A = this chain, B = another copy of it.
């Protein structure tokens, strides 16, 4: 015995989302049945409009609604500084910190030989093109502290070695508010090797 087709169609769509199995998808579909018509219409429209109304900034590769994003076109930003991040989510996290006033470069991925992702598959070429601009003084590599993130950072720094640009990596160590007792060995060893004088 199966659910009626309109429910099964929605269940199979929900199941395409990460972390949602059949039971959860059925629960979500029955919840959707109880939602207001207006909310369902908005949900449906927001799915269709998602890709239609978004593009990547031609300079930094950030997802936005314009050819050149707000940050790249902001005259108050320090355009001698580029912070390289893996994703749009990372860019938002950096911006929410409210302590950085330079530009960004969104890689939209990381080099990951295990997953068949090479340097040509992520937004790297345009970074090296931007690096030819003499105004750029420093490139901060803010990729994740994962093997792939470290690898990507090291790849970029090697390519930029013979330029005048200072290439830096964000500091690694103990998270604010966390206990040394529970820190893993790699984090602790990086916190020690990155120690600074008070």
Contact = CB atoms under 8 A, between A and B. Distances in A.
Contacts of A35: 16
Interface stretch (A42-50, A138-146, A179-187): A42-50
Interface residues of A, number: 51
Interface in A11-54: 12-13, 16-19, 24, 26-33, 35, 37, 39-54
A95 interface: yes
Given A1-B92, A65-B4, A92-B3, A47 B43 contact: yes
A7 interface: yes
A1 B96 contact: yes
A4 to B, nearest CB: 5
A67 interface: no
At the interface, is chain A mostly helix, strand, loop or mixed? helix
A2 B10 CA distance: 29
Contacts of A88: 3, 30
A16 B37 CA distance: 13
Interface string A78-94: 00000000011100100
Given A18-B31, A32-B47, A26 B64 contact: no
15 contacts: A3-B88, A4-B53, A4-B63, A4-B65, A6-B53, A9-B49, A10-B46, A10-B47, A13-B43, A13-B47, A17-B31, A30-B87, A30-B89, A40-B51, A44-B45
Interface of A: 1-7, 9-10, 12-13, 16-19, 24, 26-33, 35, 37, 39-54, 63-65, 87-89, 92, 95-96
